[in-house]
Structure 1
């Protein structure tokens, strides 16, 4: 089971290393959040932990578990853990998930990592969360592809994943002809939250998987008439002299181009609405240009310090973006953008590590956020921010998770059903 690593001292090498060596270091140190920092009973991914010590609660993030599975794949491929160690951890996670209460096959946002009980995210959000569930299955389907050996352990692992995957009722959240997927369903409150999953945001993966289900798929009309019919879907305006195809003005927080694209390969991916690599690159560059031009005169911003996304903040948890800029930089924003702006991301990585490392580097890599304007440096790590750092850097370096996810036969079926084109679908 994971070790708590209480009050651990972290040595940060100061000698300037090559770019590749620094990427290795950052990925491996960040992976430790999901390996050593996992819940000690279930092995599932904690929602957050501290710079110096693990939390006292048992809060597990279902979406974070999906990113954790993908991080474990990266660690296996790079030899940081053995294949047997990875299978052992994943087997334990899957066995626990199989005993965890679900809602028409979907998991809640939070569960108790000791008992499996649902932990309400809000007063009426105490049931199935289709978006968090999609982040989980994004990771599990990658694992089903990666652990492909014809032996008992890996066959059993694939079968466990397939059982959970086939059990999820994606069409339930389409509500008998409703023109969009609904985000939440509660056994106590039904559909009373009534939140449609409409674009553009982080949820493209949800529609891709809902169309990919071999047992409970949605009709493609739900994608075209729901997801793509939001008033904030098509943009086409220019921000900092950069055209933004989709999404809210200035693009929104950068996790929009990270979470779904941990598995979905944007290179050559297109449908009736966008070329997705272009969308993600333009979004990233708008975010970068905002920090360089720095209209709010935030201390520290510039070519080497940039990246606005949802993260911790001196006031709580905030979805930072150019039009909601509180002076807080989140390292995950730039580091998870390596596939879209590699030179800008590398400059940020060097600054974060070489200059700011004594304030933001610790046992699980870079802490969640910082504000030089407010002389504030987070002492927390968040699963949904740490995961994309490992995953998207790996996709930049080798395309590993993109290759695995896009090779899944069910995923390919779903993308074709929604009208996508991709080199992976040839």
Structure 2
């Protein structure tokens, strides 16, 4: 069993440890696992390599998307006894954004992108939702909720926020005057307006993560920072019909003993969060659409937080206090993902000797030079072991001579999205152009250069 330490205070128990109880043994059940050892191309320029990684990783969402719903599957290998029908709402948010990137990069046509997005939106419009919010998992064929844990069989507003980070981006992108794109915009708007964010406060000054039609509020998990849930408070404040107030943000999200830090690790100041910053997805999931550049409020500067978190994580891997084989300036990045002993929330305080490629690759906007070094090492040096039909395998450990036979939607999606934000800022521009998002940031007194545009 994985040691959670202080992560119980954050969302890691319910979100980042996706499938801890349900797929810890997925590595052993790998009949549908990825096929490694794709051909490695030599003499690629940096841009060509970035193109290749985005295009290959995109196949996870395009070729492997659920045939009925179009949504992103939870993982590439079988998830416990649930079989092949499990689709993930948060991962689909990243998938929707990945389709936009693929359209702009000409991997597919805009018409193909719109058609797949419409399939997803049409499916969601009829799927199970609870007070407007979606569950963590759905059956990709029927749209019925699949229980994530014994009492988690209803609304999950963190997964919903990651989904709508993607859908609001799509609403801004598909602006064409044709039936398909109009239908995408309209259905996203209707679903977006129907999410009862303020109801999830239970009339208190904090958001609650879950609600179940069978178990009510019994999970009783308050969302408090600093972790991956920043986007949840931003979207809750952005709601056109059910917004939260700034006091919910101040008394709920920011009122937590793990919100502020201010100490130095590896000689680098960490403004927020757990010591050493926690898994790197804290600096990535909320920021596939939410632009951290110039994003500030009374508590701090969010680009500085994300960059410093990344630098601390990398410096820890270079120092390598546990002397693991394969850790160095070119091979770094600790975040949640599969490991040689099951799913784990890898970080400097939960270090199992596993490098997860999404950690360094999704950090491109913060550490482009260092992320490129890692990318070249992963592809040119380790490619024969970890480069696959859907991009990089989920993780590897040279110490244990272990190389994952799996991909996870929540790891693959940020690779495409954050590389694109580094290259063009595309997804940041689209998401931040939403009038509702601008209103939400203003309600929370969060500054952004995008608000004035």
The bucket for the TM-score relative to the shorter chain is over 0.9
Q: Does 1:208 align with 2:219?
A: no
Ranges in structure 1 where 5+ consecutive residues have no aligned partner: none
Aligned-partner Cα distance in 1 for 2:83–2:106: 31
Aligned-partner Cα distance in 1 for 2:38–2:129: 42
Corresponding residue for residue 316 of structure 1? 342
Ranges in structure 2 where 5+ consecutive residues have no aligned partner: 1-31
Corresponding residue for residue 113 of structure 2? 86
1:219 Cα deviation from its structure 2 partner: 1.4
Q: Does 1:247 align with 2:273?
A: yes
Aligned-partner Cα distance in 1 for 2:109–2:341: 41
Aligned-partner Cα distance in 1 for 2:320–2:369: 19
Corresponding residue for residue 283 of structure 1? 309
Corresponding residue for residue 124 of structure 1? 151
1:10 Cα deviation from its structure 2 partner: 6.6
Partner of 2:379, secondary structure, is helix
Partner of 1:311, secondary structure, is strand
Equivalent of residue 136 in structure 1, options 163, 180, 193? 163
> Which protein, 1 or 2, shows the higher relative CO under an 8 Å CA cutoff with sep ≥ 6?
2
1:56 Cα deviation from its structure 2 partner: 4.2
Q: Does 1:293 align with 2:319?
A: yes
Q: Say what the alpha-carbon RMSD is for the aligned residues.
A: 1.5
Q: Give the alignment of 1:92-241 within 5 angstroms.
A: 92-176=119-203, 178-241=204-267
Partner of 1:180, secondary structure, is coil
Instruction: Point out the more displaced range, 84-93 or 302-311.
Output: 84-93
Corresponding residue for residue 26 of structure 2? none
Aligned-partner Cα distance in 2 for 1:275–1:213: 24
Stretches (4+) displaced over 3 A: 5-11
CA-to-aligned-CA distance 1:262-289 (integer Å, 9 cap, x gap): 0111110101111011000000000000
Partner of 2:344, secondary structure, is strand
CA-to-aligned-CA distance 1:137-171 (integer Å, 9 cap, x gap): 00000000011122222111100110110111111
1:42 Cα deviation from its structure 2 partner: 1.0
Whether the 8 Å contact between 2:316 and 2:348 is mirrored in structure 1 is yes
CA-to-aligned-CA distance 1:287-318 (integer Å, 9 cap, x gap): 00000010110110000000000000111110
1:172 Cα deviation from its structure 2 partner: 1.1
Partner of 1:229, secondary structure, is coil
Corresponding residue for residue 64 of structure 1? 91
Aligned-partner Cα distance in 1 for 2:415–2:232: 21
Q: Give the alignment of 1:284-363 within 5 angstroms.
A: 284-363=310-389
